[in-house]
């Protein structure tokens, strides 16, 4: 929530400061008609300033993910999360000063403060939070908790942007930055006092530590040794993690632009005003947060139990009772005790028996859990393809509202992918895998904006803007096809990335 508190105020401050600086220059005067800031040169300068700030944020964010992974590996998750919030607070403190002075100098300071994202920012906070989820969750609850934390992030982002806008209306342009600063200080103190300490994987170890590029290296196909049930071993090239990473990348390509497309289509095709399109996007965010926080963990839990029960107890298999030795009924007083469990009931005369139910071994239980997560991952992206493609045929305004409400119910792809990938790696690579997934998603988001930013104008030129949803659906089908060859984890021994 704190990181989105100033999102709208930042871009608005650029507009105000650029406008003031423009009319302070000699030869620029306002004619008193309309909005003084609604001038071509002003908009051009604002666009350049925002683009530069976006480039600094993006570049810093990528480096921060590598640095956070390194910090988690050396000093632990708590220290890594502390870095994100404390440097974020310093960034907001500098931005408060920039807002107070305004003008071109204020814009320059705000742009410079984005370099704080190199050592602390939203991306690193999410990575550290996911690392906490992985460290503190059981294998049964891990995938569901990944969904919960994603939903909480989304809910916080929606609430933060809304409250930040209200704070700007009530207290002026500087108020959101002040609120964000105090919230980040609170988060830092709260995390320092109450979050548990999780020892780093390689903090005191003398073993070889992963390098800075380890988050991406984990997705290189590996040579693995598979142990068969008979005890023999075989060596083969394993592409599961590579395909999962590639599938995650393509799935982000398919889904990340949908919200932006809904907003653009609603305004330019269906004539939505800013308040109507804003309400539609808020509906999408809140619905997605509800699904990931409440529905997704329950679906994962129910599905795993269903798969495990279906595998361990086939319909044709019945429990086998142990033979019992009848003893006088008068002596049977405590059937709940083990030594008297098989004594005949004094009323019915039937013996109490212990049922020997088929047991699922721990390894098989983990395999079955991963199997359902993988089924859900494939099904989620396929469902997303069907739902997104159906928006192509929208002809009424309420169709877009319905899409904004329904589409988030196919948004479990990212946490499901995290849960599946974590089952393929050992404990020493978990931080690198989480960072690698985050990097893949961020890269895919940048590529998505660039790619569909070209595709949508082309479709608009041929008067088929609604086809953008069909293109999104087609990309989702490609992601589904990539994930089809992925198999559930087996007992493997990694021999190193890219080894022959």
What pLDDT does 95 receive? 94
**154 in any annotated domain:** yes
Pair 158, 106 in one domain: yes
Q: Is residue 336 part of a domain?
A: no
| Domain range enclosing 479 | 218-311+360-485
Indicate if 68 and 163 belong to the same structural domain: yes
Expressed in percent and rounded to 5, the helix, strand and coil fractions of the chain are 70, 5, 25
For residue 437, give the nearest of 377, 363, 499 by alpha carbon. Answer: 377
Instruction: Assess whether 198 and 230 both reside in one domain.
Output: no
Asked if residues 300 and 349 have their Cβ atoms less than 8 Å apart, the reply is: no
Residues 235 and 200 reside in one and the same domain: no
DSSP 292-319: IIIIHHHHHHHHHHHHHHHHHS-TT---
Overall number of domains in the chain = 2
Domain final residue pick, 187, 209, 231? 209
Last residue of a domain, one of 188, 209, 230: 209
> Which residue, chain included where needed, has tokens 């500087």?
174
- Choosing from 150, 183, 209, the residue where a domain stops is 209
Instruction: Look at the block and give the residue holding tokens 């960034």.
Output: 91
φ/ψ (deg, to 5) at 321:
-80, 145
Residue 495 lies in a domain: no
What's the pLDDT at 500?
34
Residue 345 in domain: no
Q: Long-range CB contacts (< 8 A, 24+ apart) of 134-139?
A: 134/422, 134/430, 134/434, 135/77, 135/198, 135/430, 136/196, 136/198, 139/366, 139/369, 139/423
Residues 304 and 439 both lie in one domain: yes
Does an H or E element contain 356, and which?
strand 355-356
For residue 226, is it within any domain? yes
CA 263 to chain CA mean position, Å: 22
**292 and 399 inside one domain:** yes
CATH number at residue 205: 1.20.1250.20
Q: Indicate the burial class of 127 (C-beta count within 10 angstroms; 0-12, 13-18, 19 or more).
A: buried
State the DSSP code for 178: H
Considering the domain boundaries, does residue 474 fall inside one?
yes
Helix residue ranges, H only, 258-410? 258-268, 274-290, 296-312, 362-390, 397-406
| pLDDT score recorded for residue 337 | 42
Residues of the chain with pLDDT under 50: 315-362, 491-500
- Can you give the CATH number for the domain in which 378 is found? 1.20.1250
> Is 490 inside any structural domain?
no
- Grouping H, G, I as helix, E, B as strand and the rest as coil, residue 198 is coil
Whether 52 is covered by a domain: the verdict is yes
- How many contiguous H segments (helices) and E segments (strands) does the chain have? 17, 5
Q: Alpha helix (H) ranges present in 76-115?
A: 77-101, 103-113
Same-domain pairing of 230 and 198: no
Residue 275: partners with Cβ closer than 8 Å, 6 or more residues away: none
Question: Residues 234, 377: one domain?
Answer: yes
Read off the pLDDT of residues 212-251 as tens digits, 9 standing for 90 and up. Answer: 566 778 888 877 777 666 667 777 788 888 999 999 999 9
Same domain, 203 and 228: no
Of residues 189, 175, 220, 224, the one with CA closest to residue 498: 220
């Amino acid at each position: 929530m704190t990181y989105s508190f100033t999102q709208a105020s930042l871009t608005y401050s650029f507009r105000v400061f650029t406008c003031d600086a423009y009319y302070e220059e000699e030869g620029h005067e306002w004619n008193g008609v309309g909005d003084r800031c609604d001038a071509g040169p002003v908009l051009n300068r604002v666009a350049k300033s925002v683009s530069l700030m976006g480039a600094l944020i993006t570049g810093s964010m990528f480096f921060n993910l590598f640095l956070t992974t390194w910090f988690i590996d050396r000093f632990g998750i708590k220290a890594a999360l502390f870095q994100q919030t404390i440097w974020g607070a310093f960034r907001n403190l500098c931005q408060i000063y920039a807002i107070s002075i305004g003008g071109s100098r204020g814009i320059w300071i705000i742009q410079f403060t984005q370099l704080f994202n190199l050592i602390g920012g939203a991306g690193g906070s999410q990575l550290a939070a996911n690392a906490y989820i992985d460290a503190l969750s059981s294998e049964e609850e891990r995938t569901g908790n990944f969904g919960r934390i994603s939903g909480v992030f989304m809910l916080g982002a929606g609430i933060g942007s809304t409250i930040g806008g209200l704070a700007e209306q009530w207290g002026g342009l500087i108020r959101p930055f002040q609120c964000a600063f105090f919230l980040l200080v609170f988060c830092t103190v709260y995390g320092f006092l109450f979050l548990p300490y999780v020892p780093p994987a390689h903090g005191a170890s003398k073993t070889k530590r992963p390098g800075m590029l380890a988050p991406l290296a984990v997705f290189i196909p590996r040579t693995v040794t598979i142990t068969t049930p008979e005890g023999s071993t075989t060596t083969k090239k394993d592409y599961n993690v590579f395909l999962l990473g590639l599938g995650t990348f393509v799935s982000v390509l398919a889904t990340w632009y949908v919200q932006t497309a809904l907003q653009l289509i609603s305004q330019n095709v269906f004539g939505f005003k800013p308040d109507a399109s804003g309400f539609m996007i808020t509906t999408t965010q809140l619905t997605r947060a509800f699904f990931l926080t409440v529905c997704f963990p329950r679906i994962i839990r129910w599905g795993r139990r269903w798969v495990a029960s279906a595998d361990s107890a086939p319909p044709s298999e019945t429990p086998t009772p142990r033979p019992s030795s009848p003893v006088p009924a008068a002596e049977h007083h405590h059937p709940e005790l083990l030594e008297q469990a098989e004594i005949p009931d004094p009323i019915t005369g039937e013996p109490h028996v212990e049922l020997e139910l088929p047991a699922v071994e721990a390894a098989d239980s983990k395999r079955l859990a991963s199997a359902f997560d993988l089924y859900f991952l494939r099904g989620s992206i396929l469902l997303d393809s069907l739902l997104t493609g159906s928006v192509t045929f929208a002809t009424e305004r309420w169709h877009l509202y319905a899409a904004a409400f329904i589409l988030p119910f196919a948004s479990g792809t990212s946490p499901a992918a995290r849960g599946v990938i974590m089952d393929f790696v050992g404990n020493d690579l978990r931080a690198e895998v989480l960072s690698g997934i985050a990097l893949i998603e961020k890269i895919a988001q940048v590529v998505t904006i660039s790619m569909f930013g070209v595709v949508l104008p082309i479709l608009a030129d041929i008067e088929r803007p609604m086809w953008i949803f069909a293109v999104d659906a087609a990309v989702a089908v490609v992601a589904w096809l990539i994930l089809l060859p992925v198999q559930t984890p087996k007992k493997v021994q990694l021999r190193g990335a890219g080894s022959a």
